[in-house]
Amino acid sequence: MKKSIGIILLIAIFVSITPVSARATFQTSIAPGTWASSINIQNPTNPTNASATVTLTFYDSTGIKVLEFTVAPPIPAGGSRSLYVPADIGGLSSGQFSVVARSDVDVNIVVNSSSTSPYTAGSYTGLKADGDIGTALYYPGLYNNYYGFSSEIVIQNTDISFPANIQIQFFNQRTGAAVGPIITETVPGGSSKAFPLSEVGGLPTGNTNGLFSAKVTSTNGKSLAGIANIWTAALRGSFADYNAFVDGATSTWVPALYKNYFGFVSSLTVQNIESTMANVTITYSNGVTVTTTLAPNQAAEFFQPNNPQLPSGNTQGVFSAKIVSDKKIVTLVNIEDKTRGLLASYNGAKNPSPTVLCPVVLKEFYQWFSAQTVQNVGTLATNITITYANGNTRAFNNILPNGTVNIIELNTTGSVLPSGSSLAATITSHNGQPLVAVVQQNSNERNIANPGDYLLSYTCANQ
């Protein structure tokens, strides 16, 4: 049986900010840059040791199927494959596409995208039919010229045969009140549409009122997938993206938060996705707690440098956190280096497990490297092993409860990978303690040669 994963790609397109009066309807992204993407597929080790036969079907913004591509040869169990678009996808022209990936075994996918003019990058995970798509999507962090940050919602109709009728409602983060118009649109089967907040007439803007959460509803029962794009023109331009949430949990975890840690800062955004008031507690790894209440659909942003209880600096200014609520919540982390103009976002994890799957990690791969931050969210200390798709392994011992380990893929930090590696990794707890992990990727060399935003991040999958 083929299993489906939804993907939205920005591939080699020129885009520019266009006034709302010039656009008859919402259609394609206006995220600045000329974009190219890679599709990174991981076939985890499975009980039958089965290879994965993966088919990628590309749809344009009108819902027309433009190409069907079968990944060859099949991906062996425990292996991975990276495809560069459009170079590795024969017959695909430049453009913006949504993709439905189908596989005969369960696979995980991460999409990395990078742009020129400006130099920026982003990353998100493919959304699976068995838990990551649905008739309601939640976006905890959206921005309309909020301290220079802009956002757009990108929504994919995962039903390839019939259109989806959707409704978008925005909520002010400070009050929880519904704001702006309710957007109603139709998304053709298989395709995606982008909804830039700057083109939503009547939506507040600016540093006081330009901060939102949102709920997207399919009004005719078609399942949706989505991402959010975030960017700013500050310095040389920055970009990030994250996955929309289809459901929440009463406990979520975020492995990587910063307060002036080697120049990095972070914000944690929490959204209540239920219909009654939520009581929320954030517990940082150093024991500091923060409490808040959130109205239905409201989100709140917690900027770590604004919390005087959190230590700062290169030694103590790095944290993980657990977020607990009496209602279902979703969580988002934005990471920024304001001096170098770096920006990345990742989703909080809600289903910790002893095995974590990361579809792409890098070492000296066209001057890119990655760092995997692993959080032990169990009650006992644990040892962990990271196993790469090429068979290399590396062990880390005595990770304390709520503690983390940062696995950096550089020679100077003990990486066992050969130079030029781009491959998947599996992280396992030795004594069954549950883990969550996030991958950050960066390129210091590219930043020196062509200054820009080369930071991207995604949340690993729990198995």
The answer to whether residues 376 and 445 touch, using CB atoms and an 8 Å cutoff, is no
Whole-angstrom distance, CA of residue 58 vs CA of residue 66: 6
CA pseudo-torsion sign 359, 443, 122, 141: positive
pLDDT digits (tens, 9 = 90+) for 331-377: 999 999 999 999 999 999 999 999 999 999 999 999 999 999 999 99
pTM, two decimals, is 0.94
Under DSSP, the state recorded for 447 is H
- Give the burial class of 401: count Cβ atoms within 10 A of its Cβ; 0-12 exposed, 13-18 middle, 19 or more buried: middle
Give the count of beta carbons closer than 10 Å to the beta carbon of residue 256: 25
Q: Which residues of 18-49 are buried (b: 16+ CB within 10 A; e: fewer)?
A: eeeeeeeebbbbbbbbebbbbbbbbbbeeeee
**What pLDDT is attached to residue 160?**
87
Q: Which two tokens stand for residue 10?
A: 């920005």
pLDDT digits (tens, 9 = 90+) for 385-396: 999 999 999 999
Q: Mean pLDDT, to the nearest integer, of 237-266?
A: 97
**What pLDDT is attached to residue 16?**
28
Ranking 130-134, 140-144, 192-196, 271-275 by mean pLDDT, the lowest is 130-134
The answer to whether residues 140 and 161 touch, using CB atoms and an 8 Å cutoff, is no
Average pLDDT over the chain, rounded to an integer? 91
Q: Which two tokens stand for residue 246?
A: 């289809």
Whole-angstrom distance, CA of residue 456 vs CA of residue 122: 5
**What pLDDT is attached to residue 18?**
27
Task: Please state, for a pLDDT cut of 70, what percent of the chain lies above it.
Answer: 94
Confidence at 11, pLDDT banded by 50, 70, 90: very low
**CB within 8 A of 343, min separation 6: which ones?**
120, 230, 231, 232, 238, 239, 240, 334, 335, 336, 453, 455
Domains 249-343 and 355-462 share a fold: yes
Domain 355-462 sits in CATH at 2.60.290
**What pLDDT is attached to residue 90?**
85
Whole-angstrom distance, CA of residue 303 vs CA of residue 4: 36
**What pLDDT is attached to residue 360?**
96
**What pLDDT is attached to residue 420?**
96
pLDDT digits (tens, 9 = 90+) for 157-172: 989 899 999 999 999 9
Helix (H) or strand (E) holding 28: none
Whole-angstrom distance, CA of residue 8 vs CA of residue 118: 21
- Domain 249-343 class, CATH top level: mainly beta
Whole-angstrom distance, CA of residue 341 vs CA of residue 439: 19
Q: Which residue has the tokens 């040869």?
A: 73
Q: Which two tokens stand for residue 361?
A: 């990690």
With 80 as the cut, is the pLDDT of residue 17 above it? no
Q: Which two tokens stand for residue 277?
A: 């008031």
**What pLDDT is attached to residue 20?**
28
Q: Which residues of 116-140 are buried (b: 16+ CB within 10 A; e: fewer)?
A: eebbbbbbbbbbbbeebbbbbbbbb
Domain 3-243 sits in CATH at 2.60.290.11
Sequence spans of domains, the chain: 3-243, 249-343, 355-462
Q: Which two tokens stand for residue 76?
A: 């062996």
Q: 225 or 46: whose pLDDT is higher?
A: 225
pLDDT digits (tens, 9 = 90+) for 31-88: 998 888 999 999 998 778 899 999 999 988 888 999 999 999 999 999 999 999 888 9
The answer to whether residues 362 and 369 touch, using CB atoms and an 8 Å cutoff, is yes
pLDDT digits (tens, 9 = 90+) for 314-337: 999 999 999 999 999 999 999 999
**What pLDDT is attached to residue 24?**
36
